[in-house]
């Protein structure tokens, strides 16, 4: 018989829920958006040329090619972002919505901000008659994957890529 003499630990308390409002990114939001964008790039260890950041900002605020939302605390501090865009599909009339970027500041992770950002993207996709909202993450991103497993169905597809 195995006896576990390790004292049982109290389960960790869940992080406090963060009260945020989600809204679309506007042209005047650059100062709120930029630190989150840089945090996202840093988290995924991405280095991109400044021109790519400028083009992303233009697509978010001028051309409408990419939609974006911010999570704002009561004091107006931006604590999260999501970027998504629509594309046609050969298997649905409404096309699909791809959630390309999702980032929450480390101090606010686990408090419901990521879920609210995804819900905002899903609401926009539904209003736009998209058939599917989908996204991907890297295998190492365990905390995010635990959230995704609770709110979405894991796709059976495996991604391949050719860097060009």
Q: Is 25 domain-assigned?
A: yes
Q: Which residue has the tokens 């979405």?
A: 152
Q: Is 140 domain-assigned?
A: yes
Q: Tens digits of per-residue pLDDT, 28-64? A: 999 999 999 999 999 999 999 999 999 999 999 999 9
Indicate whether 8 pLDDT > 90: no
Q: Is 15 domain-assigned?
A: no
Q: Is 60 domain-assigned?
A: yes
Q: Is 12 domain-assigned?
A: no
**What CA–CA distance (Å, rounded) separates 76 from 73?**
5
User: Which CATH number do you get for residue 59?
Assistant: 3.40.630.30
Average pLDDT over all residues of the chain: 91
Total tally of structural domains belonging to the chain: 1
Q: Is 46 domain-assigned?
A: yes
* Closest among 71, 87, 89 to 79, alpha carbons compared: 71
pTM of the model: 0.88
Give the range of the structural domain holding residue 118, as residue numbers without chain letter: 21-151
* Closest among 80, 66, 122, 41 to 135, alpha carbons compared: 122
């Amino acid at each position: 018989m195995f006896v576990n003499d390790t004292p049982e630990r109290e389960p960790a308390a869940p992080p406090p829920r963060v009260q945020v409002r989600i809204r679309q990114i506007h042209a005047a939001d650059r100062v709120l958006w930029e630190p989150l964008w840089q945090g996202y790039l840093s988290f995924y260890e991405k280095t991109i040329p400044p021109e790519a950041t400028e083009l992303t900002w233009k697509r978010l605020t001028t051309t409408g090619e990419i939609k974006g939302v911010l999570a704002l605390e009561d004091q107006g501090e931006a604590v999260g972002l999501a970027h998504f865009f629509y594309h046609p599909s050969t298997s649905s009339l409404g096309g699909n919505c791809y959630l390309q970027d999702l980032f929450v500041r480390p101090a606010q992770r686990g408090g419901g901000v990521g879920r609210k950002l995804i819900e905002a993207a899903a609401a926009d996709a539904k209003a736009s008659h998209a058939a599917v909202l989908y996204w991907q993450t890297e295998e190492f991103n365990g905390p995010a994957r635990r959230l995704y497993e609770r709110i979405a169905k894991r796709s059976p597809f495996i991604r391949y890529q050719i860097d060009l």
